[in-house]
Amino acid sequence: MCSIAKEVWERSDLKAILSDAPSSSCMETWDWMFRKLNGEKLRRFMALIWEIWRGRNLVLFEGANPNMVALAGGFCRYVEDYGVYNARVREAGAQSKQGGVSKWLKPPTGVVKINVDAHVREGGEGGLGVVVRDESGTILTTATKRVKSSDPECMEALAIRYALSVALRYGFTNVWVESNSQSVIHAITSKAHGRKPIHHVYEDINVARALLDFCIFTHA
């Protein structure tokens, strides 16, 4: 009965199969669709459910009048792009011979640990994120930033540069930075040089690193 939901489902490639689903309750519909769909279509179904709920909240709590088809389409692309990026990261990790830890390790007393990650979207915007924790694992601060999307390796380097800028801004002088990109960590620790744009990011990282009392980089 929801006009927002109807509009999204009418424009989706799940319209035909959804029309055959039982509709006496959301749970019954979900169970039926879960048995019928798999892989990418199931992820798209879940993404559309989430975005419809978000649209409902925008209308009720913020008085907005969103273009739900555009919002839902954008979020589905975000989910698909993130899946592609994760697959690339896993493939690169499997092929690399350089080791790393598989679980979060606490930093020494007096040192903050900053975990970083980057999100890549083809031909659009990307995102950088950092989480700062102390030796007990308590989150001290988090930060995100939108940037122009680039290749995954450069995005991971930008995330590390952003982490150091956050550390300097908040006065953290003893820092342990952890990334899931083995190639970027190796390039930083080996002080790689070159003329590619990513090497300018590495130079910025080394400049920021010199302003800290203690700074190490590891892969996880």
Give the predicted TM-score (pTM) of the model. 0.54
Q: What is the pLDDT of residue 144?
A: 93
Could you tell me the pLDDT band of residue 130, with boundaries at 50, 70 and 90?
very high
Higher confidence at residue 219 or residue 151? 219
Q: What is the pLDDT of residue 166?
A: 96
Quick check: 160 and 147 in contact, CB under 8 A?
no
Q: What is the pLDDT of residue 126?
A: 86
CATH architecture type of domain 112-219: 2-Layer Sandwich (3.30)
Q: What is the pLDDT of residue 142?
A: 94
Top mean pLDDT of 10-24, 109-123, 162-176, 205-219 is at 162-176
Q: In the predicted model, what is the mean pLDDT of residues 136-150?
A: 90
Q: In the predicted model, what is the mean pLDDT of residues 188-211?
A: 86
Higher confidence at residue 1 or residue 84? 1
Residues in the chain: 220
Q: HEC states along 27-75?
A: HHHHHHHHHHCCHHHHHHHHHHHHHHHHHHHHHHHHCCCCCHHHHHHHH
Higher confidence at residue 100 or residue 63? 63
Q: What is the pLDDT of residue 91?
A: 55
3-class secondary-structure state, position 96: coil
The rounded mean pLDDT for the chain is 84
131/134 Cα distance (integer angstroms): 10
186/140 Cα distance (integer angstroms): 27
Residue 160 class from Cβ within 10 Å (0-12 exposed, 13-18 middle, 19+ buried)?
buried
111/141 Cα distance (integer angstroms): 14
Determine which of 16-25, 46-55, 99-108, 160-169 has the lowest per-residue pLDDT on average.
99-108
3-class secondary-structure state, position 190: coil
Q: List phi, psi (to 5°) of 143.
A: -155, 145
Quick check: 66 and 58 in contact, CB under 8 A?
yes
One-letter identity of residue 21:
A
Domain boundaries, the chain: 3-95, 112-219
Residue 30 class from Cβ within 10 Å (0-12 exposed, 13-18 middle, 19+ buried)?
middle
DSSP symbol at 155? H
Helix (H) or strand (E) holding 139: strand 139-148
Q: Does 122 have pLDDT greater than 80?
A: no
162/53 Cα distance (integer angstroms): 32
Q: Does 116 have pLDDT greater than 70?
A: yes
Q: What is the pLDDT of residue 84?
A: 64
Q: Does 98 have pLDDT greater than 60?
A: no
3-class secondary-structure state, position 193: coil
116/159 Cα distance (integer angstroms): 6
Higher confidence at residue 180 or residue 196? 180
Higher confidence at residue 162 or residue 104? 162
